[in-house]
Amino acid sequence: MKVLVPVKRVIDYNVKVRVKADQTGVDLANVKMSMNPFDEISVEEAVKLKEKGKATEVVAISVGPQQASETIRTALAMGADRGILVKTDGDVEPLAVAKIFKAICEAEQPGLVILGKQAIDDDSNQTGQMLAALLGWPQGTFAHKLELADGSANIEREIDGGLQTVEVKLPAIMTTDLRLNTPRYASLPNIMKAKKKPIDEKTPADYGVDTAPRLKVLKVTEPPKRQAGVKVKTVSELLDKLKNEAGVI
Amino acid sequence: MASLVIAEHDNKVLKDATAKTVSAATQLGGPVHVLVAGSGCGAVAEAAAKLAGVEKVLLADAPLYAKLVAEPVAELILSLAGNYDAILAPATTNGKNYLPRVAARLDVPQISEILKVVSPDTFERPIYAGNAIQTVQAPAGKKVITVRTTAFKAAEATGSAAVENVAAAADPGLSKFVGEELSKSERPELTSAKIIISGGRGMQSGDNFHLLEKIADRLHAAVGASRAAVDAGFVPNDYQVGQTGKVVAPELYIAVGISGAIQHLAGMKDSKVIAAINKDEEAPIFQVADYGLVADLFKAIPEMDEELAKLGY
Ligand SMILES: Cc1cc2nc3c(=O)[nH]c(=O)nc-3n(C[C@H](O)[C@H](O)[C@H](O)COP(=O)(O)OP(=O)(O)OC[C@H]3O[C@@H](n4cnc5c(N)ncnc54)[C@H](O)[C@@H]3O)c2cc1C
């Protein structure tokens, strides 16, 4: 079974983002970029499947600028076999990304596609579900645990009330949550090896997908700022403030 | 401009998230219908019918919908979508699961986690863990929207809409519910509690969370946690507050042994009052806290328990 793993190049999770003064977006100039943390979890899960002999090949795919090939290289260094970069400039909405992935799935015929549940830049939480719908495949979102069987998979999911397990027929889409695994660091020898692994370069047009945004971003602004309050010295002072000043207990 | 709101419930009780989504839907201007999909969920439909602003409740009562599994629920919504200009669901793990399937099949973008209805086609939504707010305008055509429920007031139970049965849609037969492990608690739910006390890595163990539970019981509060506390196995995953967990906005949020990473702040910084207890006076949580106490939590929390007892809580 082939496993596809989409990976997105995003602002590093440690960076404090700044909104641009002209309100057109956030400032990404000279900012550290990394693989979306949830996608690291996806790559780890796929590579583990390969190590257990359950996956035959792991293909890392990305829609993004030329530099997204570095993100694919990271996936290759973690153990993916080859990559596909679909080159675009500018923001591509989840629906268009899902359409590109659908076309790749039709060409590659994977048994499982593992995506992150959300990208930490646009926080949309849509692409995996959209891809599943476009393909007419089932989905196991917010995965906490994966158990593969013959022709199906049991996916335990993190939900608001706790955990839920669904059985999905394969091929299927899975989106990863934080507790699925702990992604490995790529070793130096594997980083060297990854340099020789192939990355195919494509464009959205190769898949007949129009990536023009459908939503119009009118502006991007800063959220209201919270002011730091006061320091209290004792527990009883804290309770007094909460009771008599704020009136919340 | 008619809207369809997908109800959040557990087949017995209509969740507050629905009432908040209804109030977002009424701001779109047209009539609002609510779809209750579930199994043995008649009481939920009755409750939805009482929400102010709701004109009609559609009830799809079938075993297939008992657990709101995404594939059949999305088919059901699609079977009704022709009658509506907008489809809204709360941004719960259910809404986030089924709604993008609906959007993709309708070939429209989904607008995730709206904070505000600026006009019937323009919305505010958070990006980058809420460190930026995007104002987006949807194209002509159907709008598919998830609603961040902390940003909207619940519609009141002053209405009396009719309940109409609708037929189940065909089961796509792709997936099935196998089982669940739900956290049981007598305390209020995180997303509707007026007071939340959350613990972080500083708690050191799951056992130590009992210290927080004692306070929670005195204050009728819910207990939450940071990702670090969940990852360490102190508490279950559904306790996680933050960018990638639950977003909460109680009257009072007490952060105990939590440093205040941006991903955690994303889930609680809209709380009315924030109190923080941390032994590190430089902890970033103090930059958003109304009341900060620099102290060892293992001294401060037992002391708080005693003081509250004295005050009669
Ligand atoms: C993709 C991604 C998503 C994430 N999503 C979330 C999310 O949704 N929610 C979330 O919370 N995090 C999230 N995180 C993690 C986040 O970045 C932080 O790592 C996490 O919030 C830290 O948790 P903490 O504050 O409990 O731990 P730490 O940062 O380790 O802080 C522990 C604090 O406890 C204090 N402390 C220790 N002992 C005591 C004591 N005895 N008395 C008083 N104080 C004490 C310390 O001074 C310290 O400030 C995410 C990270 C990533 C990469």
Which residue's C-alpha comes closest to atom 50 of ligand 1?
B263
Q: Which two tokens stand for residue A194?
A: 């990854």
Smallest Cα–Cα separation from A13: which of A30, A33, A29, A27? Answer: A33
Distance B254 CA to ligand 1 centre (A): 14
Query: What residues are paired with B4 via a beta bridge?
Result: B33, B87
Closest atom of ligand 1 to CA, residue B228: 23
Q: Are strands B132-137 and B122-127 parallel, antiparallel or unpaired?
A: antiparallel
Please list, in sequence order, all residues whose beta carbon lies within 8 angstroms of the beta carbon of residue B111, skipping any fewer than 6 positions away: A215, B123, B125, B136, B138, B143, B144, B145, B146
Distance from the B25 Cα atom to the nearest Cα atom in chain A, whole angstroms: 19
Distance from the A113 Cα atom to the nearest Cα atom in chain B, whole angstroms: 15
ipTM score here? 0.97
Beta strands in B94-194 (DSSP E): 110-114, 116-119, 122-127, 132-137, 143-147, 162-165, 175-182
CB spacing of B243 vs A133 below 8 angstroms? no
Alpha-carbon B128 to chain mean position = 19
Closest residue in chain B to residue A217, using alpha carbons only? B136
Instruction: Tell me the C-alpha to C-alpha distance, in Å, between residue B38 and each of A29, B46, B171, B253, B309.
Output: 48, 13, 14, 33, 43
The residue-averaged pLDDT of B152-174 equals 97
The residue type found at B300 is A
d(CA A97, CA B183): 35
Q: What's the angle, vertex CA A19, arms to CA B109 and CA B144, rounded to 5?
A: 15
φ, ψ of residue B61 in degrees (nearest 5): -105, 105
Q: Which two tokens stand for residue A142?
A: 């917010």
A2-6, strands of its sheet edge to edge: A199-202, A82-87, A57-64, A2-6, A112-116, A172-176, A139-148, A152-159, A162-169, B175-182
Predicted TM-score (pTM) of this structure: 0.97
Which residue's C-alpha comes closest to atom 26 of ligand 1?
B200
Instruction: Tell me the C-alpha to C-alpha distance, in Å, between residue B303 and each of A231, A234, B195.
Output: 18, 10, 19
pLDDT at B143: 98
pLDDT at B221 over 90: yes
Question: How does pLDDT run across A19-58, given as a tens digit for each residue?
Answer: 999 999 999 999 999 999 999 999 999 999 999 999 999 9
Closest residue in chain A to residue B263, using alpha carbons only? A13
B-chain CB neighbours of A128 within 8 Å are 100
Question: How does pLDDT run across A138-193, given as a tens digit for each residue?
Answer: 999 999 999 999 999 999 999 999 999 999 999 999 999 999 999 999 999 999 99
Q: Which two tokens stand for residue B73?
A: 């629920």
d(CA B194, CA B16): 13
Q: Are strands A230-232 and B32-38 parallel, antiparallel or unpaired?
A: unpaired
The helix (run of H) or strand (run of E) holding residue A101 is helix A94-108
Query: What residues are paired with B126 via a beta bridge?
Result: B133
Report residue B1's pLDDT band, with 50, 70 and 90 as the boundaries: confident
CB half-sphere exposure, A128, CA atoms < 13 A: 34
Cβ-count burial A224-249 (b if 16+ within 10 Å, e if not): eeeeebeebeebeebbebbeeebebb
The residue-averaged pLDDT of B39-43 equals 98
Closest atom of ligand 1 to CA, residue B285: 49
B54-61, strands of its sheet edge to edge: B110-114, B143-147, B86-90, B3-6, B32-38, B54-61, B162-165
pLDDT at A228 over 90: no
d(CA B146, CA A126): 11
> Three-class SS of residue B147?
strand
Q: B306: buried, middle or exposed (CB in 10 Å: 19+, 13-18, 0-12)?
A: exposed
Closest residue in chain B to residue A27, using alpha carbons only? B132
B-chain CB neighbours of A91 within 8 Å are none
A-chain CB neighbours of B236 within 8 Å are 162-163
Query: What residues are paired with B90 via a beta bridge?
Result: B147
d(CA B113, CA B104): 17
pLDDT at B96: 98
pLDDT at A112 over 90: yes
B195-199, strands of its sheet edge to edge: A230-232, B291-294, B273-278, B252-256, B195-199, B222-225
d(CA A119, CA A94): 10
Ligand 1: which residues within 6 Å by Cβ?
A: A 13, 37, 120; B 200-202, 226-229, 240-245, 257-259, 261, 263-264, 267, 278-280, 283, 296-298
Which residue's C-alpha comes closest to atom 31 of ligand 1?
B259
Report residue B271's pLDDT band, with 50, 70 and 90 as the boundaries: very high
Query: What residues are paired with B88 via a beta bridge?
Result: B5, B145
